[in-house]
């Protein structure tokens, strides 16, 4: 009986020893750390830095001192013979990255012309190169003008929208100017009332000074 009881214990001990030899011991050595990339954080930091260095729409708008006129042409007719004056020019806004093509073919030179309105406003065709939906460089742009051919004065009124960088509040920006405006003219031979064509020299710029104001669009 004694011998029969000892064999199972011997076999169990042998199995336990074999398992101990075959099973690898757990290592206390930590696994090498996987390098962590900071590319995203660096990219975000660079992006934020660039945004901080670039003026906001509001800052650029309030710093604006002039609009740039190019390709101006005035074709003067005889107002008393019902010959209207044609005025065309391009209006560039550096703050809002907006170009406006301004044109009118029925501009009255004098108040005496029958059925004329020398103070009539004309809308310009606005092309927003960026920010037309109210982004960083301004949105919802519009421009209009009127021209007094007797006094040779031009009035321009351009508007667009920026957002307050701190509160996000939409702000209505207006650039307004009323100034003398003349370009070199060649009068028509025999013209009694200064008929002729006046054209801005190609490649030249006319810097038209403006006053810029901003007001909230919210109550």
> What does the pLDDT look like over 157-172, one tens digit per residue?
999 998 888 888 899 9
Q: What is the secondary structure of 94-133 as a DSSP string?
A: TTTTEEEEEEEEEE-SSTTSTT--TT--EE-EEEESS-TT
Res. 123: pLDDT tops 80: yes
User: Do the beta carbons of residue 157 and residue 126 sit within 8 Å?
Assistant: no
Interval 184-198 mean pLDDT: 67
Q: What percent of the chain has pLDDT over 90?
A: 33
Q: How far apart are CA 93 and CA 37, in angstroms?
A: 43
Per-residue pLDDT at 164: 87
Q: How far apart are CA 46 and CA 48, in angstroms?
A: 5
Interval 174-178 mean pLDDT: 95
User: What is residue 200's DSSP assignment?
Assistant: P
Kindly state the tokens that stand for 76.
Answer: 């003067």
Taking the CA atoms of residue 17, residue 21, residue 23 and residue 27 in that order, the dihedral angle to the nearest 10 degrees is 120
pTM: 0.68
Res. 50: pLDDT tops 90: no
109 — pLDDT class (breaks 50, 70, 90): low
57-216: which CATH topology?
Answer: AOC barrel-like (2.40.350)
Res. 152: pLDDT tops 50: yes
């Amino acid at each position: 009986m004694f011998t029969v009881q000892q064999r199972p214990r011997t076999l169990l001990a042998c199995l336990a020893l074999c398992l101990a030899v075959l099973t690898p011991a757990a290592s206390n050595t930590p696994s090498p750390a996987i390098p962590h990339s900071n590319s995203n954080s660096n990219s975000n930091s660079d992006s934020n830095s660039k945004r901080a260095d670039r003026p906001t729409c509001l800052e650029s708008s309030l710093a604006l001192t002039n609009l740039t006129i190019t390709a101006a042409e005035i074709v003067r007719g005889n107002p008393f013979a019902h010959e209207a004056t044609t005025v065309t020019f391009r209006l560039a806004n550096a703050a809002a990255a907006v170009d406006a093509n301004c044109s009118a073919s029925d501009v009255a030179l004098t108040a005496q012309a029958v059925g004329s309105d020398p103070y009539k406003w004309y809308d310009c065709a606005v092309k927003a190169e960026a920010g037309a939906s109210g982004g960083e460089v301004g949105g919802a742009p519009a421009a209009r003008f009127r021209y007094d051919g007797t006094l040779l004065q031009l009035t321009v009124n351009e508007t667009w929208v920026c957002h307050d960088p701190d509160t996000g509040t939409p702000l209505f920006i207006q650039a307004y100017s009323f100034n003398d405006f003349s370009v070199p003219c060649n009068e028509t031979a025999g013209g009694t009332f200064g008929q002729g064509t006046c054209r801005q020299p190609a490649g030249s710029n006319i810097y038209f000074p403006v006053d810029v104001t901003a007001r909230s669009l919210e109550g």
